[in-house]
Amino acid sequence: MLRLLVLHGPNLNLLGTREPSVYGQVSLTDIDKSITRHAGTLGIAVQTKQTNLEGELVTWIQNARGHFDGIVINPAGYTHTSIAIRDAIAAVDLPTVEVHLSNIYQREEFRHHSFIAGVALGHISGFGPTGYLLAMEGLIAHLGVDRKPSRSVSNRKPTASRR
C-alpha cells in the first residue's frame, strides 16, 4: 500500500481563525480529516503532522525514508527561509509536493521565492485545502501506483496527441 506523509508547517495549527480572508475558515483538524478521507477513497495510507519547529520538520522528513513513498508538505513561512528543509527533502530523495493554501505569487514580494520548489516534484498553491488532495493525486500518478478508482483526472484514458 502506498504511504504518504503530509507535513504542515508553522502557524497552520491556527487555521480557521488566522487571517480567514487569506487562509479561509477551515481548521487544520478539518483539513486533516479531509486528507484522511480522501486517502481512504484512493486506497492509500496517510499520516499527517504539524509543527511550528523547523528542526522537527527536518527530522520528520529525514525519518520518512524507508517508511513513506512520498511527502506532501506545506512548509508555510519556512518556504521562504529554510535551506535546512530544502536540504532534507533533497537528501531523502522521496518525491515531494509543496502545497500552499493561498497563491503565494499574489501576495507580498518576499513570499514569491520558495527554497523548496527547486527540490520538489511539484508545487500547488492557491486552491485552499483542495491543494493537499491534488498533491496526493499527483504523487500517486507520478509513482504509477495501482489503486481504487476515484473521480480524478488521473483515471482518464490518455488521448492521442495532435502535432
Beta-bridge partners for 96: 71
Q: How far is CA 1 from CA 73, 75, 137, in A?
A: 20, 26, 15
- Three-class SS of residue 65? coil
Name the catalytic one among 38, 100, 123, 132.
100
Best CA proximity match to 75, nearest among 6, 18, 19, 128: 6
Note if 142 is an active site residue.
Answer: no
Note if 23 is an active site residue.
Answer: yes
Name the catalytic one among 8, 23, 78, 132.
23
Beta-bridge partners for 46: 4
Active site amino acids: 23, 100
